[in-house]
Structures are given as C-alpha cells and as structure tokens.
C-alpha cells in the first residue's frame, strides 16, 4: 500500500505559469474526470441511492468554480466535492498547504486568557540562585532544541504537582517576556501532562518526560536544561534509547519499546532494519515488546517487514489489492515501473509485483483484477518476544493499519489504545498534475481484498484493550498489563 512513495514517479504537471488564465473550474473538470475514470472506489461511493445528491453537488461546485480565480478559495471549494467520497486517499496537494486561520480578534481573546509571570531572565536567574536548595530538578532555565525558545520553569506555590513554563525573551507584540508558554501537571515521577500554547494561543496536550537534563514534549519540542547547571547529563546511550523520537528502548528487564518512524520516511525499510540490527540484543532478550504506532500515517508497506521474524507464529499473508484496470491506471503503473529501474532498492522490491499487476491490467481492461498476494513464511518462532503489544491511536492510519491487520495473524499480538483512523480500504495511491496552480490530484488505484465484508474506513480498527483518554502514560499502562 504505497502512498506516493517516489517523487520521481509523478506525472508531468501543468502549472499556472504555463497558461495566461487559470480558472478553478479547469482543476475541477480535471479532477472529476481522473477520479471518475480511475478511482477504485468510484462505484462504491457513487451509488444509485446517492447519485442525485452527488450530481447536484458536482453541478454546484462546477458552476461556482467558474468564477473563482483565487488559489486558496479554489482549494477549499474543491475540497467540498472531494469530501463527498469520505476517503482520505482522495485529495489535492497544493504547492504550499493552505490553512484556515482564526481572526486576529479571536486570537486576541485567547491571548488575554493566558497569564504572564513577572520574571525576566535576569530576575529569574537570581530567584533560582537564591532558592537553589529548594528547587525541583525540572525548575530552571531551559532551551528548545531548535533554539527558538528559552523558557523558565517554575513550580506553583499552591499546587505542588503544577509547573509553569514562561518566556524569557520577547517574541512579538503578543508573546512578551513572562508570557506562559506551557503548563505541566506531574502525573508520576519524571512524567507530566503538558498544555502547550501555539503562536495563535491555541493549545495542544502532550505527554512529557524528564530524562536527566532533557525535557521531551512528545510531538512538540525537546528542551535542554541550562541553569542551574544539571547534576546529571544524558549519555550517548540515553540519547539513542530514550531521547530520539524513533527508538528501541529497554523499559525494564522484561519489556522493550519500539517507537517506529512514519512509513513515509525515505529509505524507511533500510532505516528500520538498521534500528533492529543495532538493538538486536534488546529485542532478543525482552519477553515483552511494545510497538508504538501512534500518529503513524502509513506509507511504504516494506518498512515494517523486517519486524515479522519477531512477530510471526505462523506465515503471514499480505493480500494483494484489487486494481481497477483503466487506460490511465495502466499508464500510471507502467510509468512507475519504468521510473524505478534507475533505483536499485525500489526496483528489487517493487518490480515483480508491478510487472504482474501490469500484465493483469493490460489483459483485463475495464475490469477489476486481483493483485498478487505476498507470503512471509515462518522460519521459526522467535523465543522472544513472547508477547507483542501494538499501541495505536486515532492518528494511526493507512499502511500502519495494514500492519496491525497483518500482525493479528500471529498469536503473539494484542492491540492497545483507541480506534485507529480508518484509512485503509482504498489503496495504491497515485497522483496526476493538474492544469492550474501546480496542484496534484491523488486517488487510489485499488481497493482492499477485505471489501465489502470487512471495511475499516472512517471507523478504524478497534483495539483489543481500550485505554482511556484519562490514562496519562499509555506506554506505562501497556507495560504493566503485559506483566500480568
């Protein structure tokens, strides 16, 4: 289930600069034709019971698009039409992402509700010196890994579990020295739940870990302590196992944690193989393995194959997709096959499958054809791990969901967390360059062999063990569960 893996596989784009006049309707007409003629989910999405509503929507979108010349307005207008398909694998990619920003008035209201402390860096440094013997380790001056923020962290005088992070320098007219940047509530030793304020004063909640002189706000920032001088600094082994985002960490004598990178990572299969090689003693000697797939958007299904020897209790079979054979889809697959010949790693991995799919499509124009299955044979059951837990959340999507479904063929595995995103029914995503603005329209050439019996789109994969949102430390929850 590749998700636009290779930039080299993209078709020729027509950009706005190639035309004197660009109308939004040109992009709509192009997207309509490409999706109608080639999208594997078309007949599932546009049915007799909703045909009239779809036609009315299409007419309204097309008519209004004729008068739209602003790129941003066009993007959100066409998105209304794409949303009909309720498939995250049908989308338009602009050159620069568009966002919907709140008005200055709304931002100002939010800003007014965020307090400020009276400290600056000089006065806070003096406070720290005067109270050094009373400070918790997390209190002090910290700097973000990108040097963008220098903050003070101060324990609340009334609530011993609460800590406030505030700016030690001016950023702009609203972000002044002393303005609170985040608030941390301690949930266990060295563990916090953090409310972080973005530039527009919107918030995000993050699980935060304190590791010696590092503070790791997951999916946000890493901070290094500057003052008071840390009593203990992280080692190279700490950085490798506990600090970096993607890591294999020994949690205890029985449990290892494997935080996987997104499968969209360039050279992802090789990167994960190297991670496994470097930490093989940990994996080989840990009865329990937690594979963290939270916030993994999917990508290349080859990325996780090197983990199968630790998961298998029998052969694992990856069912081939059901491809829609159309003239343009054949062109797409043929172009991809030609393009990867100059890239040995992709050639070796993808050519056999693409050649077989291409032969089937060329011999069955206008039909759906079954792509080849792939079997991962069991050589032997690894003595460790004995239990494999997958940790997922609502942002676990696409190929990461496929990984879960394939891993469930093993008797070792359990899934913990919450329902996944539900974005794996329509697969093999490719894109085409659109006439205007340098945009690209993407859609799935195939659908899962699970359909129509076992869809997961827009509902996700339910975990075997649900973890409540009130649970602060999901990894710790799973670690304790596996010890039962």
| Any domain includes 98 | no
Same domain, 123 and 260: no
Q: Which residue among 235, 250, 276 closes a domain?
A: 235
Domain of 203? 109-235
Same domain, 166 and 77: no
Measured between alpha carbons, how far is 150 from 148 in angstroms, rounded to an integer? 7
CB atoms under 10 Å from CB of 219, counted, come to 13
Residue-level pLDDT at 117: 98
Same domain, 405 and 328: yes
The dihedral built from the CA positions of residue 448, 449, 455 and 461, taken in this order, carries a sign that is negative
Same domain, 76 and 141: no
**pLDDT values of the chain reduced to their tens digit, one per residue, 484 residues:** 444 444 334 333 333 334 457 899 999 999 999 999 999 999 999 999 999 999 999 999 999 999 999 999 999 999 999 999 999 999 999 999 999 999 999 999 999 999 999 999 999 999 999 999 999 999 999 999 999 999 999 999 999 999 999 999 999 999 999 999 999 999 999 999 999 999 999 999 999 999 999 999 999 999 999 999 999 999 999 999 999 999 999 999 999 999 999 999 989 999 999 999 999 999 999 999 999 999 999 999 999 999 999 999 999 999 999 999 999 999 999 999 999 999 998 999 999 999 999 999 999 999 999 999 999 999 999 999 999 999 999 999 999 999 999 999 999 999 999 999 999 999 999 999 999 999 999 999 999 999 999 999 999 999 999 999 889 999 999 999 999 8
Residue-level pLDDT at 340: 95
Residue-level pLDDT at 273: 98
For tokens 């919450």, name the residue: 418
Measured between alpha carbons, how far is 264 from 373 in angstroms, rounded to an integer? 22
Residue-level pLDDT at 382: 95
Q: Are 447 and 258 in contact (CB under 8 A)?
A: no
Same domain, 278 and 309: yes
Q: Are 42 and 87 in contact (CB under 8 A)?
A: no
Residue-level pLDDT at 169: 97
Q: How far is CA 95 from the centre of its chain?
A: 20
Residue-level pLDDT at 10: 37
Beta bridge partners, 447, equal: 322, 426
Strands 288-292 and 426-433: unpaired
Same domain, 246 and 306: yes
Same domain, 66 and 212: no
| Any domain includes 3 | no
For tokens 């019971």, name the residue: 49
| Any domain includes 6 | no
* The total number of structural domains that make up the chain: 3
Which uninterrupted H or E stretch holds 174? Answer: none
Strands 387-392 and 413-417: parallel
Residue-level pLDDT at 8: 35
| Any domain includes 12 | no
Residue-level pLDDT at 91: 98
Residue 42, both tokens: 């078309």
pTM score of the predicted model: 0.93
Residue-level pLDDT at 22: 87
Q: Of 51, 102, 96, which is closest to residue 71 (Cα–Cα)? A: 96
Same domain, 332 and 455: yes
Measured between alpha carbons, how far is 390 from 413 in angstroms, rounded to an integer? 7
Q: Which residue among 63, 93, 123 closes a domain?
A: 93
Measured between alpha carbons, how far is 280 from 248 in angstroms, rounded to an integer? 9
| Any domain includes 404 | yes
Same domain, 63 and 177: no
Residue-level pLDDT at 21: 76
Same domain, 154 and 79: no
CA distances from 222 to 214, 277, 371, 451 (A): 7, 26, 44, 43
């Amino acid at each position: 289930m590749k998700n636009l893996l290779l930039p080299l596989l993209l078709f020729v784009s027509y950009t706005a600069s190639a035309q004197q006049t660009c109308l939004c309707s040109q992009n709509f007409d192009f997207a309509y034709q490409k999706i109608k003629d080639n999208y594997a989910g078309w007949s599932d999405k546009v049915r007799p019971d909703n045909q009239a509503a779809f036609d009315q929507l299409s007419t309204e979108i097309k008519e209004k698009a004729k008068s739209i010349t602003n790129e941003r307005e066009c993007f959100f207008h066409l998105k209304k039409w794409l949303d009909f398909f309720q498939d995250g694998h049908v989308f338009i990619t602009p050159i620069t992402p568009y966002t919907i920003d709140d008005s200055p008035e709304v931002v100002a209201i939010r800003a007014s509700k965020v307090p400020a402390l009276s400290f600056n860096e000089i006065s806070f440094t003096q406070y720290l010196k005067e109270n050094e013997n009373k400070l918790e380790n997390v209190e002090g001056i910290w700097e973000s890994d990108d040097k963008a923020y220098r903050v003070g962290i101060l324990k609340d005088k009334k609530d011993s579990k609460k800590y406030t992070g505030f700016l030690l320098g001016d950023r702009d007219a609203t972000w002044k020295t002393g303005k609170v940047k985040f608030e941390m509530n301690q949930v266990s030793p060295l563990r916090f739940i953090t409310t972080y304020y973005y530039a527009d004063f919107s918030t995000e909640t993050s699980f935060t870990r304190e590791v010696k002189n590092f503070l790791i706000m997951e999916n946000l920032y890493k901070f290094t302590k500057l003052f008071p001088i840390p009593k203990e600094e992280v080692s190279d082994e700490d950085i490798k196992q506990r600090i970096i985002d993607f890591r294999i960490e020994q949690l205890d004598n029985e449990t290892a944690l494997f935080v996987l990178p997104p499968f969209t990572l360039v050279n992802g299969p090789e990167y994960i193989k190297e991670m496994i090689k470097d930490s093989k003693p940990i994996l080989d000697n840990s009865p329990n393995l937690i594979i963290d797939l939270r916030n993994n958007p999917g990508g290349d299904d080859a990325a996780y194959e090197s983990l199968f020897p630790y998961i298998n209790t029998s052969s694992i079979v990856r069912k081939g997709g059901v491809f829609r054979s159309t003239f343009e889809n054949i062109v797409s697959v043929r172009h991809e096959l030609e393009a990867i010949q100059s890239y040995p790693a992709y050639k070796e991995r993808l050519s056999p499958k693409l050649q077989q799919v291409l032969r089937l499509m060329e011999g069955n124009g206008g039909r759906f054809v079954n792509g080849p299955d792939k079997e991962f044979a069991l050589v032997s059951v690894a003595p460790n791990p004995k239990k494999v837990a997958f940790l997922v959340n609502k942002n676990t999507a696409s190929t990461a969901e496929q990984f879960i479904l394939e891993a469930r063929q093993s008797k070792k595995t359990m899934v913990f967390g919450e329902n996944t995103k539900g974005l794996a029914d329509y697969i093999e995503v490719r894109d085409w360059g659109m006439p205007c603005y340098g945009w690209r329209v993407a859609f799935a050439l195939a659908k899962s062999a699970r359909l129509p019996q076992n869809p997961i789109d827009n509902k996700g994969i339910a975990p075997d063990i649900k973890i409540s949102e009130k649970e602060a430390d999901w990894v710790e929850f799973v670690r304790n569960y596996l010890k039962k």
